Chains A and B, each alone.
Chain A
Amino acid sequence: MSSPRDVVITGIGLVSSLGEGPDAHWQKLAQPGLQPVLEAARFAPYTIHPLPEIDWNLQIAKRGDQRQMETWQRLGTYSAGLALDDAGIKGNDELCATMDMVVAAGGGERDEAVDAAILAASESRNDRDVLLNEKLTTELRPTLFLAQLSNLLAGNISIVHKVTGSSRTFMGEEGAGVAAVETAAARICSGQSTHVLVGGAFQTEHSDMLLGYELAGYLHRGAWKPVWQRRGGEGGGVVTGSGGAFLVLEQREHAESRGRKIYAELGPVVSGRARRRLGELDGEIAALLSQAALPDGELLAMSGASGAHAATAAEKAAFDAHPAIAARAFSTLTGHMKEAQFPFAVALAALAVDRKAAYPAFDTTVEKPFGGVPRSVLATAIGYHQFEGMGLVKAA
């Protein structure tokens, strides 16, 4: 039964190695046997899913604005623009000025050349702290700091797209994406917001972004494999991808009153923090599945599984215990997009609900076929290291 304060999805902005926009993603992902776009040489021994060619001008009109950002912020600002366009909000001053925003963010790109030069010099110097001052004071580009600050993705979205109702940035890998969507939905349900821009971006084509995983040995090495099949392979199982995912969430009444197309309804969104060292992950995933108000019968699940061995095995075991769930681990085709992972999962779930068709198996050796029309689709993000979340996306 619908209610005026339901949370509905009215805008989707997606970028990944597969292309940009909801239509391009749907067309690609609906093809059985789609092969991933891979880059195996640039960061060998790591394989990544690179960004597609993007004409930044299409969403970031001013060259000056583009210059103030590095790729991560451009990617997020661009994806946000796609979502706003899709929802018919872009360029509408009144809707933008009253729109709330919750961005899930990590940090931006460091200057690799400066860092490498400092590291090289450190081999022959004992006064490394002085070396640091010497190099950083003379070689850092002053405005680079702003391209690195976590909250400046949201800041750039305000500047470029004029979204100024409120601006909050959540940090913390996949959990930040989960909390961003959960908080945005809670604001709409409670009447605090009528429309919210929520999402994130991840730019993996930078050594520090790989280092963030590899300090704990999380990255997969060697030949590429689908997400569910990396156990026993060399490395930790994660293959990363560059991408962005933004959603426009809206109060049903607000969306209907301006006559917008509704992709799907969102809710409930649930989250948790298993103390994994104490073996709580299996129980936490089971608890989230029971809180997610799953419908009876066959259920499609857009899984944000990263490939990280322990977390991915736990998620797979939970699905195996629910024979009605047919999972689709989209990172097989996009790579893991960290903060953007959960918004991306929700977006793909909404597309399937809207198109009244399921995605074919992305990995036919593991994923089950799904024959029916998906009226509800589950979206998951079980963090590669910590934090868990799920959301149910339903026919509007």
Chain B
Amino acid sequence: MANLNDHMGRPIVAVTGIGVVTSLGVGKADNWAALTSGKSGIHPITRFPVDHLNTRISGMVDFLPSSSQGSSPLTYELAETAAREAVAEAGLDSGDFGGPLFLASPPVELDWADRFSLYNSDKHDAGAERLLRVARALKELDIFETTQFGSIADRLADSFGTRGLPITLSTACASGATAIQLGVEAIRRGECDKALSIGADGSATAEALIRFSLLSALSTHNDIPEKASKPFSKDRDGFVLAEGSGALVLESLEAALARGATILGIMRGCGEKADDFHRTRSKPDGSPAIAAVRAALADAGLGEDQIDYVNAHGTSTPENDKMEHLSLSTVFGERIGSMPISSNKSMIGHTLSAAGAVEAAFSLMTMRESVIPPTINYDNPDPAIVLDVVPNKKRNAEVGTVLSNSFGFGGQNTCLVMAREPV
């Protein structure tokens, strides 16, 4: 008889379904095959013209029916596709899920395509005045829905039959991890016995790219796109904007075992800590990220020596990779040089609001498959960052526990600890 409660007497939270979409493909099978063969999904941008842009590559998801329909439709389709895979794997009713929904998704804005078409459908007056006048005459709600922050979750709730008021959240690049954390916490509080946590991001518009570009956050290694994302390398020069989605069905271990579900992994612990230093940079001593890692370990009831592998945030920006190394070496001490630490972003780019969920999905698969995906493009190691990044080739290894890091603008630091087995 398995222990059903954790070291703090809370219900143990199991994962019973996983879904994922990235630029590498739809579904776990295609993604895992690509990821473990070191294949990159980064490619030249074709969705919009790249005139005047310094960055002309991305990890956009260009192969879905909504890929050219704008951020909201694509984010919805990404979320829906990943959740469909996860709920099916869990063996639950895909139209009557019966637990709450937590959705990490990008903030929404009226797409430029809609702005242009609304504006140019009329000739009177100008600017905002014209837009407002045209807007109030619209007979359909389609455009309106794309500007409501709760609409994607509302549609998902309709589609999957989730319970109650769905929560849409943003903690910037940590959003996907926060969605999982909220699901874990709801189950631990006894509010539900299952939850659907999704991170989805289809917001790689020209404006999004330009905004990140103006903050000097993006790689401009345009010539060989698949080599642009090079976490922990000396010549890393920014992240690669990308899209994707990850979905997890979370269940109390008790409920999952009672219905005979396959346990794909355990969400052992979550930790977070906000940084008050700067809007985009971390406190120089790394103390908030360090505190987040330690909080996740404490929540999981594990010591520093009980983490087998780190799924790094590893964005390939000069700042992140340096600070992540500082934080991890502070927490794990000398052992850090011999712990495998790899970045999925070397292959899929930075999926922003989805990243924490996508990378949690890959972390769980790493444990199940006993294969660690590599950090590719590691040809020129940064001598200041001495890590075993599982360079360029996958590694077969027994992995019982994973730490997955997510750090974001606005001082967001969220870490998840996952395990293969309940105890």
A314 close to chain B: CB less than 8 A: no
Residue of B nearest to A271 (CB): B165
Q: How far is the CB of B367 from chain A (nearest CB, A)?
A: 27
B211 close to chain A: CB less than 8 A: yes
Q: How far is the CB of A364 from chain B (nearest CB, A)?
A: 31
Cβ–Cβ contact A167 & B412, under 8 A = yes
Cβ–Cβ contact A272 & B141, under 8 A = no
Q: How far is the CB of B56 from chain A (nearest CB, A)?
A: 11
Residue of B nearest to A171 (CB): B149
Q: A107-B108, A119-B116, A133-B52 are in contact. Are A166 and B210 (CB under 8 A)?
A: no
Q: Which one of B52, B128, B149 has the greatest number of beta carbons of chain A within 10 Å?
A: B149
Cβ–Cβ contact A171 & B131, under 8 A = no
Cβ–Cβ contact B127 & A119, under 8 A = yes
Q: How far is the CB of A43 from chain B (nearest CB, A)?
A: 8
Question: Which residues in chain B, 254-293, are within 8 Å of chain A measured between CB atoms?
Answer: 272-280, 288
Q: A136-B206, A158-B275, A166-B272 are in contact. Are A214 and B136 (CB under 8 A)?
A: yes
Q: Which residues of the partner chain B approach A176 to less than 8 Å between Cβ atoms?
A: 149-150, 168
Identify which of B169-177, B322-330, B379-387 touches chain A. B169-177
A392 close to chain B: CB less than 8 A: no
Q: How far is the CB of A241 from chain B (nearest CB, A)?
A: 18
Count of residues in B whose CB is under 8 Å from the partner chain: 77
Question: Which residues in chain B, 117-165, are within 8 Å of chain A measured between CB atoms?
Answer: 119-120, 126-132, 135-138, 141, 143-144, 147-151, 153-154, 157-158, 164-165
Q: A149-B172, A186-B189 are in contact. Are A171 and B107 (CB under 8 A)?
A: yes
B207 close to chain A: CB less than 8 A: yes
Q: Which residues of the partner chain B approach A275 to less than 8 Å between Cβ atoms?
A: 158
Identify which of B31-39, B75-83, B403-411 touches chain A. B403-411
Q: Find B132's partner among A156, A183, A210 (CB 8 Å cutoff).
A: A210
B93 close to chain A: CB less than 8 A: no
Question: Which residues in chain A, 113-133, are within 8 Å of chain B measured between CB atoms?
Answer: 115-116, 119-120, 122-123, 127-130, 132-133
Q: Which residues of the partner chain B approach A386 to less than 8 Å between Cβ atoms?
A: 148, 150-151, 154
Can you offer 8 A-B residue contacts whose CB atoms are under 8 A? A116-B126, A133-B53, A155-B410, A156-B410, A164-B288, A176-B168, A207-B131, A387-B165
A residues bordering B, Cβ < 8 Å? 46, 68, 101, 105-107, 110, 112, 115-116, 119-120, 122-123, 127-130, 132-134, 136-138, 140, 142-143, 145-146, 148-152, 154-156, 158-159, 162-173, 175-176, 178-179, 182-183, 186-187, 190, 192, 207-208, 210-212, 214-217, 219, 235, 271-273, 275, 383, 385-389
Shortest 6 CB-CB distances between A and B: which pairs? A155-B410, A172-B150, A207-B128, A171-B149, A215-B144, A142-B214
Q: A46-B132, A152-B410 are in contact. List 13 more A-B contacts (CB 8 A).
A: A137-B53, A146-B409, A155-B409, A164-B274, A165-B274, A167-B272, A170-B167, A172-B153, A172-B166, A172-B168, A210-B132, A215-B110, A389-B165
